[in-house]
Amino acid sequence: MPAGGTPDLEFEAMYGPQFAKKFVNDYLSVELPKRLIKYRNYWGVTNADIPDPEQVIGYEPMALDRWPSIITVSISGQRFERVGYMKYGDPEYNVTYAMRTYVWIRTEGPEETTVMRDRYMVVVRSALMDHPCLKRYSAERLALIEESSINEQYSELTLLKGDRFLGGGYIGYDLRIEEAIVREKFADLLEVEIIKEKAKIGEELS
């Protein structure tokens, strides 16, 4: 939608990596607090053992100063597969983005930090793999995480001041989103050419 204006109902923009990050980030912001309650009850732990995230963001901050932090970034656009056509022959694509969702934890003690990090990774992974929830959050365009692409990496712990430790990890995955291009219609292009020709004629007569 144009800033301060009304949406152009005849135009559909491609989403791109900005939307890929926002889609996952908005979904996790809503889903994680609810999912954490279920996992706390299952594990028999409290909010102190696995607290709600302090921030869920779609960019890499200059410094980490809030914990737990959930950060989703887009690494690359990998595949652009044409899957069909919309009205007037506008093409539709499945666009695949390589994504990473980072989990950063800080707490006291190496064991406590490791356990909290590992538990958070499970909760975030379960949210990302919950395809019905992911699709239900935004029904406008199908977004699907390819299960076979999911991989996890865990960092070593970093000792901070006051016997506090920083631990992290990330979940890598491919996110496939339906996107479309609305091409210029032939009649619109013809009208533009006619206007240009009239302008040239007017200049020659003046």
Query: Distance between terminal CA atoms of the chain?
Result: 40
Q: Report strand pairing: 69-85 vs 55-57.
A: parallel
Amino acid identity for residue 115 in this structure? V
User: In this predicted structure, which of 106-110, 137-141, 156-160 has the lowest mean pLDDT?
Assistant: 137-141
Q: Which residues contact 117 (CB under 8 A, 6 or more apart)?
A: 103, 105, 154, 167, 168, 169
Task: Supply the pLDDT for residue 204.
Answer: 56
Supply 131's token pair: 């395809």
Q: For residue 148, what is the enclosing H or E element?
A: strand 143-154
pTM (predicted TM-score): 0.81
Q: What angle do CA 168, 108, 67 make, to 5 degrees?
A: 45
Q: Supply the mean pLDDT for the chain.
A: 85
Residue 201: C-alpha distances to residues 189, 191, 193, 198, 205 (Å):
19, 15, 12, 5, 6
Task: Supply the pLDDT for residue 15.
Answer: 87
pLDDT beyond 60 at 111: yes
Q: Would you tell me how many other CB atoms lie within 10 Å of the CB of residue 116?
A: 24
Task: Supply the pLDDT for residue 153.
Answer: 98
Task: Supply the pLDDT for residue 189.
Answer: 47
Span 175-200, pLDDT tens digits = 999 888 877 665 554 554 555 555 55
Peptide bond into 68 cis (omega under 30): yes
Span 29-85, pLDDT tens digits = 999 999 999 999 999 999 999 999 999 999 999 988 999 999 999 999 998 999 888
199 three-class SS: helix
